[in-house]
Structure 1
Amino acid sequence: MLLPRGALLVMLDVCFVLLLWGSSAVVDGSLGRWIAIRRARWSRSYRLQLSAAMLGFFIAPASIFALWAWYRLQGDDRATRELLVRETLRVAAAEQERRPLGAAPSSTGAPLFLYNDGVLREASNPLLEALAPLGRLLPVEFSDEELENDDTFVSRRMSVGRVRALVGFRLLSRPGAVNRPGATIGVLSTPARGNEFALDDRREDLGILVLFATMLGALAAIWSSGIAARALARPVGALREAALDIAAGRPAPTLGTAPATEFAPVYQAFTRMADDLQTSRSALEAAQRRTEAVLQNVASGVVALLRDGDIILANPRAGALLGAEVRRAPAMLSQLPARLSALVAQCTAFLARDDDEEAFGLLLNGRQLQARLTRLPTGAVLTVDDITELASAQRVLAWGEMARQVAHEIKNPLTPIRLGVQHLRRAYRDRRGDFGEILDRNVSRVLEEIDHLDEIARAFSRYGTAPSERAPGVPVNVAAVVHDVVALEKLGDHAEPGQRVRWEVVAPDDASMFALAQRDELREVLINVLENARLAGATAVAVALRPSETAVVIDVADNGSGIAPDVLPHVFEPHFSTRTSGSGLGLAISRRLIEGWGGTIGVTSAPGQGTVVHITLVRTAGMSEDAAEAGRR
């Protein structure tokens, strides 16, 4: 038993050293940090779970067996001792019939004590009688009434010195006088022999052996769980390495030796997946080669971008249009020349937003380019087209259309002027008596048509003004302009009382609402909108002002005839009018002016239900009109 005891002592020393280390680690906090770092890993560790399961399956039966063996040995120990003590007392009682207790030593060699009337009377050895290790008095639980005859035997555990010993008691009677009055000699007792205490050592050795076996079993469970975990992790690690190779674009490696039977379906599924991925990758590469071959000959420049600025596809036309090398490379977008900084900024901003599409123009090397960005799941596609010739052709076409419209608009007032002049010449030749009246009437008509021509000329001039030449918006009191224009419309309404238009302004209590505009041009825009409402047969026109933190909205609603759905999309086109007498430039000019100030204008309408014009201007802090005029100068 030296080996188990020595091993347990070594384990105890190791545990003591670990306890000292843990105490120092707890003091400086490193143990808590170490446990906190590994807690999440331990909670998901397959090896730890397997070790705990194996420990549980081993320690539980071992503990049950140890307890059973302990109690079984204890019971066998007591039964053996009782049997030895009983036999010792039986032999001693038989010998007592032939000779007194102290006459000669007992053949059993056990110490014997004779009690009579509860007092020690005699012992097998004078020294024992003098020492009385069991006591001079018989314990009360071993009274004569408890021992009825010679066959009655009682045992109790008593303290004999410093040792707990099993002591047996037997009634001793005179020969042939059993159960007769005065036949009882006394109570004969003897403790278990000293060599019987070796049973305690056996029990202790058994406990040490069981504890040693338990410790060995625990270590074996931890070691075997590590082996099992590594055996299970080996095929998983092979699958992981293969998956990383596939993810990096490398060919799928072989998985080595045949896996365990349990992993065979997983290996087969992984191999099939790798083959499918390889097939898909080959098909994708073939499709990419076809796409690149098609893009080699298209007239547009095409560049595919990732979100981080990597260029993954670019055709030669893109480099030719941009005048720079555009190739597939990481972070290639940021490596483009500085003269393409505007393009780089547009692409970077688009990639940072969530817009689906964006179009913008570029001017490079005297060429006009049209660029368009289209959103993709992983980035965007940039297409670049050279529209220099197209823009030139469009300008020529636009000027031709403008010339045709100018000729058409001028021709209309020239006809009544020509007729009026011809009428005057005939009247003069004919010496008409009412020549003065004819002259006055025709001159008035000619002057009206000249005013019409002047209006047409100013309208065409304003519509054709370049955006850079227009005056920028300055803070204007929108509420004041609206009230002024509505008051002017009320003064100019000369219809019959029952046919007059009911003008109404709906505005918040705050009469000052400043927005970016030009006061005179805003007046013209509002006059044009209100006149359109009046000429549409409206009998009620409401102008509502709705301010917000960033904008001032003007809603002009009338109850006129409305606009047909097929006509509504064209109301802002130049030279389009729903009336035969209009030039068709009013709303087109209004739209250009408002958009030049950073605002918007829109129309909603339905036939027979009236029309609503929505004007949105950028709100700003107020300033005096003099300051605004100074700013314009």
Structure 2
Amino acid sequence: MRVAVGFAAAIFVILLAASASLETVLFAQAFPYLLGLAAIAVAALLTIALRQGVHLWRQVRMGRFGSRLRAKLTGILLMMALFPTLVLYGVTVFFVVRAIDAWFDVRVERALDAAGQLARHAIDTQVARLLAEAQWLQSEWVANAHSIQGATLEQWRQKMGLDGLLILTGKGVVQGFAGEDPQWVQQEAGTPAEWQLAKLQETSHRVVETEESSWVRVVVWIPQTIEQESAFMVLLRRVPTSIRTAIDEVTEARSEYAQITHGREALQRLYLVILSVAVVTAWIAAAMIALQISRRFITPLLALEEGTRALAEGRYLPVADRISSQDELGWVVRSFDRMSEQLAKAQAEQARAHAEVEAARAYLETVLAHLTTAVLVFDETHHLVLANAAAKALLGDESTTPLNANDAWRGNPALRDRLQAVMAVASGPVTFEWVDEDKGKTFVVHVAPLTEATSGWVVVIDDVTDVVLAQRLAAWGEIARRLAHEIKNPLTPIRLAAERLRYKLAEKLPEKERQLLERATTTVIDQVEAMTEMVNAFRDYAKMPNAKKTRVDLAELIRSLLVFYEEGGIPVECVVEGEGPWAIEGDPRQLRQVLHNLLQNAQDALEGIADPRIVVRLVRQNDRIELSVQDNGIGFPEGYQQKAFEPYYTTKRKGTGLGLAVVKKIVDDHHAAIVLTTPVDGKGAEVRLTFAAADREEGDDGKSSDRR
């Protein structure tokens, strides 16, 4: 808006100055004001242009996108406007100066003088003719004064071609007149001065000019005679319109020429100033137009830059609606907008697919994390890239970070070597059994290649230790049953035979032989009893009855059982943490058997230990009840935990090796868990049993102690 107002003001001042130059007087008066107005208008336009230029320069200094291109385009447009304007300005100045000089040629002045003389000659001719006619009418009047009437005046007027004819008395009173316009004729009778001049010179004449027309008035003095008093005769004749127009034009031309001649140098200076102002205004206009054109030119580029920046940030920003041009740049912007929209849709689709993949991955990781089966994934170079929690436990890695290097195999290098050997030669799925001798565990390992799209290997490792153990227990149970049947049958006859031999021969043999017989038969009977106990143990293990479960209060069960150990040499402490409830679903007889077995093992482990001590602890943990038996004896031998529950495995000098096997079987029948650990202080051994509570009411935290 300000630019348009400035241009309008500058153009108005230039036009006003140009029009004022046509009037020398007006120009002389208005020139300073016009020059000031022009300077103000040009200064205003220049200020606006400079502000825009400085703004563009700052954008270039700041490195704004598109500013350098806009500056180059503006410079090119200015150069294109500068040189033609300079050439046109020089040529115009040259021709203006020559034209003004040509206006003041001597021939023009002579022509104007000749035209003026010709105009005066035409008037003089009219005056001379009218004077001659006046002389003739004077003589006619003197000769025929007695016979002159009103009709005679009209005849004379028409004959002479006069526009008016008057007869005045010597005192200026109208005696008669003739003319087409009587009112005009009477008004133009002349002035007393003209009458006096005519009286002195016999005639007087005057050319009367008005805005409407011009005419010649001649006054003739008629002296007094005997028959007639003195009088004045007034003749009126209008100047022809063509002569009047020519005279006016010549007069006006001479006046204008005189004014122009008087302001010749000022006129040249004015035209030079007008041209200079026009050129400067044109330059400023060119600069402002160039700035506007360059701004409009780079607008699509700015839109592209903004859209590209948003696209780089992962956002879709529509920019086509900002561009209205239908040229190639507009097409590029619209194409970019369509591409950005497609990319945004593709990105949204990718994000959705990625979210689905992540959800599936999280679901898979959750499933893998809760699997007891170990799952490992290797790449094509046999590098471990993924392992679930069970696999990390198998590999001996307790960290929470994913396994991503073969360093994670430090806990089980033997399995690593076996797997790498299998993957190196296998072309399809492979299944093999692997036994960890150190931990006493048995695993079934399944190795299978991944799909062609994702080359690599997946390894699934199942811990079948419990299955193998169950198979062994079943086998040992069958063996025990058969042994019990095969061994128990001859034991009774053997014992009876030994007792009969001792009874029959004891009195018949000498003392020495009798003692030998006594020792021999006693040994046989003791061994038979031992064999009988072992056979009974085999029988009990092989034919363990099903648990008859009822609601059992473990705290009461423990207290009732510890009564039998009060008189023993080793003190047993019962610690019940909390107030219960301590009820579980179980078989009281089998649970007592478990506790007796564990307490007996603890007492056996405390032989020869100074200050022996056994602690039975009962703890409630939410919906689980934990029962532990702890001693401060010699502890578990190395590798004992892995084989402790196998039948006939024992480290004691006495025993069948069925105690913990029976305990394990009873615990499994009660859906409980058993763990052999070493106490925190590292002394002795601890057996921990965990049962499911018969209810889910949590007891209050607390601690009570009962020593027996």
TM class by smaller structure: 0.3 to 0.5
Q: TM-score, normalised by structure 2?
A: 0.35
Higher RCO by CA contacts (8 Å cutoff, separation 6 or greater): 2
TM-score by length of 1: 0.39
Q: Answer 1 or 2: which has greater helix percent.
A: 2
Q: Rg larger in 1 or in 2? A: 2
